[in-house]
Amino acid sequence: NPTKPGRPASNVPMTKLKPGEKPPQFVIFSFDGAGSHTRWQEFRAAAKPTDSRFVGFLSGIYLLTNQTRTKYVGPGHAPGKASIGFGGSKADVITLIKDLNHAVAAGDEIGTHYNGHFCSGSGHAGNSWSTADWNSELGQFMKFLTDYKKLNGWGDEVPDLKVTPKDIKGGRTPCLEGKLAAMAPAWKKYGMTYDSSLSLSGGISWPVKVRGIWEFQMPYVYSPGFKRSVMAMDYNMWVTFNGGKNQPGRAPELRQKVRKTYDYMYQQAYRGNRAPVLIANHFNSWNGNAFNPAAMDFMKATCGKPDTYCTTYQDVIAWMRLQDPAVLKALQAKKPVATGGS
C-alpha cells in the first residue's frame, strides 16, 4: 500500500489526466534477488537527491541462514536445496533486514522473487509448476517474512522486519518462467495485484490487466548499443553480448551498450506513448560489474528530469487506478515504442 503508515508519501503526483493530456513518464528500477548490502547502499544514495524510489524483488531464502536452509522445501525438491545461495550467517541476515527496513522507510517497494530460483535444467522448475507448487512457493516466502526469527532460532536481539505479507503485491519469477494459468490463481490467493515476468509483445507499452492482475510486461526492445532487439534485462543483455561468458576486461564496452539501451528506451517512451520504462536488473557483479554502474548512471541522469518520476509498481498502479477508465484505455491502446528506428 503506497500510503502505509511509516512509508513516505508517494513521489508521484496523484492527479487525474484530462483527455488527451500527456501522462508523467514513469521509470521503474527493479532488482531481482535484492540481497547485496553494498548495492542497497549505492542505489539508495543514487536515488535520494531526486526522491526517487525503486523496487527490490527479494529472494525469500535470503532470510534463512546457511545453517537453517532445510526449513525451505522447494516444490519437487529436497529440503534445503536451491539454485541460489541462502542468507549466509546470522550477521548477514540481520544486515539484510536492516537494508529492507531502510528501503521501506525511504519509500522503496519490496516484492517477491520467490525462493529457490529453480529454472529450466534444475529439476522440477517454474515452467512445469502447478498452482499447488506456486502456492507452496509463495506461502513459504510469506512465512519467511513473518517467522524468520523462529525458523532461525533467534530471539528479540534480532530486529523486526518492517516488510509484511500484506506489503507484497507483486514480483518477478526466476528466469521469467512459469505458466500464467498456473500462476494467476496463486497470485490472487496471496493478494498480489501485479506481475512483471511475462513478455506479451514487443516494445514498451502501458500495463494491462491479465486474468485480473496488472501485467508490467518484460519488453523486447531495439537496442542501438547491440544493434538488434534484446530482452530489456541485464542478464539477457549479457547473453546477447558474449553468450554470458565472464570477460571482465570487456566491462566498459558492455556498460556503454547497456546505457545506450536505457537512454533509447527512455527517449522513445518520453517522446512517444509515455508508457512506464522498466529497468530490470540484479545486484550481481556480472562480467566485471558491467550492469550496476550503467543502471546507476542512468538513474542519476534521468530521475528528476521534467515530468519524469522514478517510482514503484504500486505507485504507478495507484496512479492508473485514479485515472478515468476511458483515459487509461486510450493510453493502453497506444502503439508500443522502442521497437527500432529513431
pLDDT for 182-228, tens place per residue?
999 999 999 999 999 998 878 999 999 999 999 999 989 999 999 99
C-alpha 21: how far from its chain's center? 29
pLDDT in tens, 11-40: 999 999 998 899 999 999 999 999 999 999
Averaged pLDDT, 82-106: 97
CA nearest to 105, candidates 166, 53, 57, 168? 53
- E strand map for the chain: 25-33, 55-58, 109-112, 194-195, 208-210, 213-215, 220-223, 228-231, 277-282, 308-310
CA nearest to 87, candidates 77, 79, 96? 96
CA distance linking residue 113 with residue 132, whole number of Å:
17
CA distance linking residue 232 with residue 204, whole number of Å:
10
pLDDT in tens, 37-85: 999 999 999 999 999 999 999 999 999 999 999 999 999 999 999 999 9
Residue 8 in this model has a pLDDT that exceeds 90: no
Q: Are strands 208-210 and 213-215 parallel, antiparallel or unpaired?
A: antiparallel
Q: What is residue 213's predicted lDDT score, i.e. its pLDDT?
A: 97
Q: What is residue 200's predicted lDDT score, i.e. its pLDDT?
A: 81
